[in-house]
Amino acid sequence: MRKLRLAAAIVLCLLFAATTAILVVRFKKLRGEQTVFEELAGEVEEVRTREYSFTDYETRLKPAAEAKQILPEYNLLYQENTDLAGWVKIEGTRINYPVMSTPEEPEFYLHRDFYRQESYSGTPFIGQDYQAENPILMLFGHHMRNGTMFSDLMKYQDDSFWGNHRTIQFDTLYEKREYEIFAVGYAPSASEAEQYVQFYSFTGSSGYQEYIQLLKEEALYETGIWPDRAPLLLLITCSYQEMDGRFFVAGCLKEE
């Protein structure tokens, strides 16, 4: 009996050691993946703060449709990976990431990093054929338990956080954009979240208002903001509130 107990204890110790080793390896990998994104964000910020020549400044003042030149801060990143579609950032959160677009395989970056390598965290991506002028853009990102990617969207469960962080910055390659958050809430399942995608092809003012009404009905609290034909942006992540649940943060493009 004593030998059996000793053997069982040894097995448990080995299992514990193996599990710990796996967790340590995964933690290091996740940390490494986040470091890559932090380095990319540093490159973008460095270019943003650099003083441009008068010619560069003059070019940036031109309307995007006229100039159609990639913003300086995204130029080098686009050269590294032409799947880059823009950059999303929310103050007061860790959300500060490139956004990818692969129309033929929308979920290509679900578990791939910016350099197309396998990754637990993946990279935020646009969930449908991307055109900057689309009436609705939907960005998807993982809810990582280490707080990275789109995990901080869950802070918007608290209306006081929304009160202090009401905007989302989502730059396309060609222009800077800011969206005002008007609704946040849960979609009980992935299939129900697809309702939002189905509304994507709405036409006319009635379809637009129905779409806004759908989002408002799912909202956790009232923001007092009702978009009026403005282009919309939805950030979507897993909620873990229930099996296959989703959480969304919806914003409308702010007027300049």
Per DSSP, the residues of 103-135 read TTSTTTTTTB-TTS-B-SS---EESS---TT-S
pLDDT digits (tens, 9 = 90+) for 95-120: 999 999 999 899 999 999 999 999 99
What does the block give as tokens for 35? 């470091």
CA R_g for the chain:
21
Distance of alpha carbon 143 from alpha carbon 146, whole angstroms: 9
What does the block give as tokens for 18? 């193996």
> What sign for the dihedral angle of Cα 142, 146, 147, 151?
positive
pLDDT digits (tens, 9 = 90+) for 44-56: 887 777 644 434 4
CATH topology for 3-253 is Sortase; Chain: A; (2.40.260)
Query: Chain-wide mean pLDDT for the chain?
Result: 80
| pLDDT greater than 70 at residue 248 | yes
Contact indicator for 111, 118 with CB cutoff of 8 Å: yes
Residue 57, phi then psi, degrees to nearest 5: -65, -40
Q: What is the pLDDT of residue 3?
A: 56
Q: Where in the chain are the domains?
A: 3-253
Distance of alpha carbon 117 from alpha carbon 138, whole angstroms: 23
| pLDDT greater than 60 at residue 30 | no
Name which residue leads in pLDDT, 218 or 14: 218
pLDDT band of residue 188 (cuts 50, 70, 90) is low
